[in-house]
Amino acid sequence: MKFMSKLQFPKIKINYGLLIKYGLLLFLIIAIVFGIKFLIQKKTENTNRHDTVRGNIENLYYYLKKEPENIELFAVLRAGDGVSVSVWENYVSTSEDKIKKFEKQIKSDLVIGKNYSEIVLYGPLGNALNQFRVIRDQNQERIEARKSFSKEKLIQNKKVLADMLAQISADSKKVGLDLR
């Protein structure tokens, strides 16, 4: 233990100016690294949002393009057939849920993607969604064998929807989407 008492440590002279200088440099480097990380994260988030909006537009477009054909699968349904009516009511319920989901999605995307050029497609897509609803309602009349059903009106409304979708497809090319 005696040798410990004789042991002396050299006095260290601290240069506070140099310490502050390197401390600030270290702080600046850390701030730059976190700033770059934040910017990359924001850019990735923005890209993901943009891709989501584009994907939502494509999903809605292809739903509207394919679903009128799917309604025709119910052409064999006849009034008075309990199973047929049950199948149709299930389809109508499912279809209405999808339409409400698409409408909610449109509202959400209009807020999220207000700076994206593809947003201009949502107006015509909303109109096409309403036209699809008319077609679905006319098919309801057909299946229930209502006297108000007119096959000519149904065919005309399908043509109107097809024309709307063709216009949306043409407009989508202007904003860089390829809807066929």
Q: What is the pLDDT of residue 30?
A: 96
Residue 122, pLDDT > 80, answer yes
Q: What is the pLDDT of residue 2?
A: 55
Least confident of 22-31, 85-94, 123-132: 85-94
**Domain limits, the chain:** 50-174
CA angle in degrees (0–180, nearest 5) for 88-91-97:
145
Q: What is the pLDDT of residue 151?
A: 85
What is the tens place of the pLDDT at every residue in 27-73?
Answer: 999 999 999 999 999 999 988 988 988 999 999 999 999 988 887 77
Contact 167, 159 (CB under 8 A): no
Contact 165, 65 (CB under 8 A): yes
Least confident of 16-20, 73-77, 119-123, 148-152: 73-77
